[in-house]
Amino acid sequence: MAKLEESQFKKISPNIFLIFLLLLYFAWPNKFSQTNSKWLQIPYSEFQKLLAEKKIDELNISDKNIRGKFTYQRTDKKVYFTTNRIEPELAKDLAKSEVTYSRDATSNIFEGILAWVFPIILFYLFWVYLIKKSVDKGGFTGGLMSIGKSRAKLYVETDVKITFSDVAGVEEAKAELREVVDFLKNPEEYGRLGARMPRGILLIGPPGTGKTLLAKSVAGEAQVPFFSISGSEFVELFVGVGAARVRDLFVQAKTKAPCIVFIDELDSLGKTRSGIVGGGLDEKEQTLNQLLAELDGFDTASGVVILAATNRPETLDPALLRSGRFDRQVLVDKPDKAGRIEILKVHIKKIKIDPNINLEHLAALTSGFTGADLANLVNEAALTATRKHSALITEDDFTMAIERIVAGLEKKNRIFNAKEKQVIAFHEMGHTILAIAIPGNDKVHKVSIISRGIGSLGYTIQRPSEDRYIMTKKELLNKIVVLLGGRAAELLIFNELSTGAADDLVKVTNIAEEIVTKFGMSENLGPVVFEEQNNPYMQGMMQNNLHRLRSEDAAKMIDIEMRNIIEDSFQKAIAILSKNRATLEVGAKLLLEKETLVEEDINHLASTVIHN
């Protein structure tokens, strides 16, 4: 029964039902005959009475019943009758009482058989139905026999249309993977000097950076079959199913060699094992053990290349990352400015845009965006232009799309009273004045007091001129000063504080803590790290995690140092805004009138700002 397939179930079910009906027919032949319009079931007492009155004829007598024909015309127009026999001695005694008496038909052999067989058949059909339902719910579309089969999607050579030209912003990763393409196209050349391809190549990077797209492009370039499966699809309710699927996947791959096997979200399958005694009985651990065995059990000369992707490499079992398994790790990081320009060029091919759009300007505004974020940006810009019934997508549409993604949806129905609007205007203008007054800060792109998102009452958008990978202590302190500009402006103008700076204070505290505990920039505490160092997208991430226990004295010194940094920055923000109070008031008034200031308005204000 455990090997019954869905197609077999469909064939067997009608046959079982037919057998059941036949058994039912033979079990109650009298009852079927009694419902026939030709026969009338009468009590035995009536039979004796009619027999004495000579109103019946043509009797057919068996051990259990009597059948005959009426000799007179009945009102119910019945011609034939049947009755169950009663022993003569008993019938004679019963006739004296002048009561109506009859006898129930005794069970035949078929009824006895059916009493045992029917519950079994009923239970059998019900069990098959439940199994079929659980199979369908579990996604085993091929029936019960498909439980141990790999669910990898196979794309043949002509199915994968994506090539390296469709992937932008990850040039280093593409360069690494070109070698894989060359090996698949010409394995003899790579084996000429005894070299071999890595058994497994692991693509590591944040979500949305294009790891899956990059894997597909390798198959598209090499023009080989491409097996694609998610790591979570190996793990099911039944223990051993995942291991069976891993075996089946590699068997299929070897028959299609040369080919590429791509396992997405490897961390859902290959998380670090618990180390608990007896833990090997766990389904996930069995599946991982089978994957490790399969990675050791095939030769790269067979032409099977294993690609995998994860955004959580720190959770992977070390056995997966050792040499001989996933021994090559390719970083697919967020694109830099040049990469973002190339990605935008790829996506704008599918839409109608204004030819005067400055992609370099858009790339500068989208620092930190991944490839998926940029694809979403292009789509949001197209939707914005569509809502405006525009013929082409302009740069303003892209700017509005960036604001929607970064700051959230505009809350036009959120109405502030006059005092709240005034506080928000001075708060945002405080950020703006400080960003202009302190050299080295990113240029202010837009300021608005229109509420966006869940908690944003207003926003100030800065546009970085270039991508930055390291920052000095001075730059970090300047960033804190700008973030405290809103709170400083409120205190300077209204001589009181509001809750509007809550989000700014969270960011300020985090930066101050990193300066002291993570970057070792405190003069009092020295170059000592007190916080965990963790960059999950770099080589050797399993060995570089540092944990330091803080003594009470050290914790107290850290708190004092953080508070001093924030307090000094706050006093600096107040001092700069005091020098520029006239510009602050003019800018806040202009912001209250327009609600949103663009670069042209901000540049006009900048000409009157006294720089620090």
pLDDT at residue 453 in the model: 62
Whether 194 shows a pLDDT value over 90: the answer reads no
Question: What are the beta bridge partners of residue 304?
Answer: 259
Q: What order do you get walking across the sheet with 153-155 strand by strand?
A: 153-155, 226-230, 259-264, 304-310, 200-204, 328-331
What is the per-residue pLDDT across 465-487, written as a single tens digit (0 to 9) for each? 677 778 899 999 999 999 999 99
Residues 368 and 334: beta-carbon distance below 8 Å? yes
Q: Which amino acid is at 142?
A: G
As given in the structure block, the two tokens for residue 213 are 């797209």
Task: Tell me what percent of the residues of the chain surpass a pLDDT of 90.
Answer: 16
CB atoms within 10 A of CB 55: 12
Whether 502 shows a pLDDT value over 70: the answer reads yes
What is the per-residue pLDDT across 447-469, written as a single tens digit (0 to 9) for each? 888 877 655 678 888 877 677 77
DSSP 401: H
Select from 608, 600, 593, 610 the least CA-distant residue to 444: 600
pLDDT at residue 279 in the model: 47
pLDDT at residue 5 in the model: 43
Select from 407, 405, 500, 403 the least CA-distant residue to 452: 407
Distance between CA 490 and CA 498 in Å, rounded?
8
What is the per-residue pLDDT across 134-151, written as a single tens digit (0 to 9) for each? 555 544 444 444 444 555
Which residue is listed with tokens 């996933």?
326
Whether 556 shows a pLDDT value over 60: the answer reads yes
Distance between CA 468 and CA 377 in Å, rounded?
22
Select from 50, 543, 29, 113 the least CA-distant residue to 318: 543
pLDDT at residue 265 in the model: 86
Residues 24 and 18: beta-carbon distance below 8 Å? no
What is the per-residue pLDDT across 21-54, written as a single tens digit (0 to 9) for each? 555 555 554 444 444 556 778 876 777 777 777 7
As given in the structure block, the two tokens for residue 161 are 């249309």
Q: Do the strands 153-155 and 226-230 form a parallel or antiparallel pair, or are they unpaired? A: antiparallel
Residues 265 and 309: beta-carbon distance below 8 Å? yes
pLDDT at residue 109 in the model: 62
- φ/ψ bin of 254: left (φ > 0), alpha (ψ from -120 to 50), beta (otherwise): alpha
Task: Tell me what percent of the residues of the chain surpass a pLDDT of 70.
Answer: 74
pLDDT at residue 435 in the model: 92
pLDDT at residue 25 in the model: 54
Q: Do the strands 226-230 and 259-264 form a parallel or antiparallel pair, or are they unpaired? A: parallel
Residues 478 and 440: beta-carbon distance below 8 Å? yes
Distance between CA 144 and CA 238 in Å, rounded?
12
Distance between CA 187 and CA 572 in Å, rounded?
65
pLDDT at residue 564 in the model: 94
Distance between CA 1 and CA 219 in Å, rounded?
41
Of the listed ranges 265-279, 321-335, 368-382, 503-517, the least confidently predicted one is 265-279
Residues 382 and 351: beta-carbon distance below 8 Å? yes
Helix intervals (H) in 367-459: 371-387, 395-407, 418-437
Of the listed ranges 427-436, 541-550, 572-581, the least confidently predicted one is 541-550
Split at pLDDT 50, 70, 90, the class of 411 is low
- Catalogue all structural domains in the chain, each as residue range(s) with its CATH number: 153-331 (3.40.50.300), 337-407 (1.10.8.60), 418-606 (1.20.58.760)
Split at pLDDT 50, 70, 90, the class of 314 is confident
What mean pLDDT value characterizes the chain? 77
Residues 435 and 498: beta-carbon distance below 8 Å? no
pLDDT at residue 131 in the model: 66
The whole-number average pLDDT for the span 387-415 is: 80
Prediction pTM value: 0.66
Q: Do the strands 200-204 and 153-155 form a parallel or antiparallel pair, or are they unpaired? A: unpaired
Of the listed ranges 90-99, 437-446, 521-530, the least confidently predicted one is 90-99
Of the listed ranges 233-247, 293-307, 319-333, the least confidently predicted one is 233-247
Split at pLDDT 50, 70, 90, the class of 601 is confident
Split at pLDDT 50, 70, 90, the class of 3 is very low
Q: Do the strands 80-84 and 39-41 form a parallel or antiparallel pair, or are they unpaired? A: parallel
Q: Helix crossing, 371-387 with 337-347: angle to 10°?
A: 50
DSSP 174: H
Split at pLDDT 50, 70, 90, the class of 107 is low
Which residue is listed with tokens 């080589």?
539
pLDDT at residue 289 in the model: 83
As given in the structure block, the two tokens for residue 68 are 């005959």
What is the per-residue pLDDT across 345-357, written as a single tens digit (0 to 9) for each? 888 888 888 888 8
pLDDT at residue 475 in the model: 92
Residues 227 and 154: beta-carbon distance below 8 Å? yes
CA distances to 13, 126, 137 from 123, rounded to whole Å, are: 13, 5, 21
Catalytic machinery residues = 428
Cβ neighbourhood burial of 249 (10 Å; 0-12, 13-18, 19+): buried
As given in the structure block, the two tokens for residue 493 are 């103008």
Distance between CA 558 and CA 550 in Å, rounded?
10
156 or 481, which is more confident: 481
Whether 441 shows a pLDDT value over 60: the answer reads yes
Whether 344 shows a pLDDT value over 80: the answer reads yes
Cβ neighbourhood burial of 267 (10 Å; 0-12, 13-18, 19+): buried
Select from 191, 213, 193, 195 the least CA-distant residue to 203: 213
Question: What are the beta bridge partners of residue 459?
Answer: 448
